[in-house]
Amino acid sequence: MQRICVFAGSNVGIRAEYRQAAQSLGRELLARRLGLVYGGASVGLMGIVADTVLASGGEVIGVVPRALFQREVAHRNLTMLHEVESMHERKALMADLADAFIALPGGFGTFDELFEITTWAQLGLHSKPVGLLDAADYFTPLLAMVSHAATEGFIPEQPAHILLHGYSPTALLDAFATYTPPPGSVSKWMDTPPQR
């Protein structure tokens, strides 16, 4: 792995643990000489991760849609900042630039990015690891929902094979290093003839 894409809130949240997790992730990326790919903002948890990596000379690549360039207060001191036309282009470019994906706490935008990249993994469109960095048990309700969806037969019974989970950047990145994508995730759609 050379670069990790981080999905994170453009706000910092109400708990100090969220900020601490963002800083800790930035430090661990530096320690492992991994570059950061992210949404390109200077604010929120996004900005904290970027600032932490930049402070010690690490590589940080941002991707910002033109319409959000001013609204998200684009970071001006990045290694590279890509300005794209749409949110779709943003997600596609971040996916192309990264070797793995980590979600920190965030809102609808973070959930959108997380679920799209997880769905791409399920469909076999990529075989890169995807994980949740769980600060202050932020993702516990989400994991309960994923487990419920599996129990109800809407997603694979073992979603942990696609969506990894950790309470520290070290544990999560260690899990990434030994990650093996589940086989045949796309076979349901590829092997079944279309319904008429």
Q: Any idea where the domains of the chain sit in the sequence?
A: 3-177
pLDDT band at 92 (very low <50, low <70, confident <90, very high): very high
This prediction's pTM? 0.90
For domain 3-177, give the CATH number: 3.40.50.450
Q: What is the mean pLDDT of residues 71-87?
A: 83
Each residue of 43-58: pLDDT tens digit? 999 999 999 999 999 9
Helix (H) or strand (E) run with residue 7 in it: strand 3-7
Judged on CB neighbours under 10 Å (0-12, 13-18, 19+), 69 is middle
Higher pLDDT, 102 or 181: 102
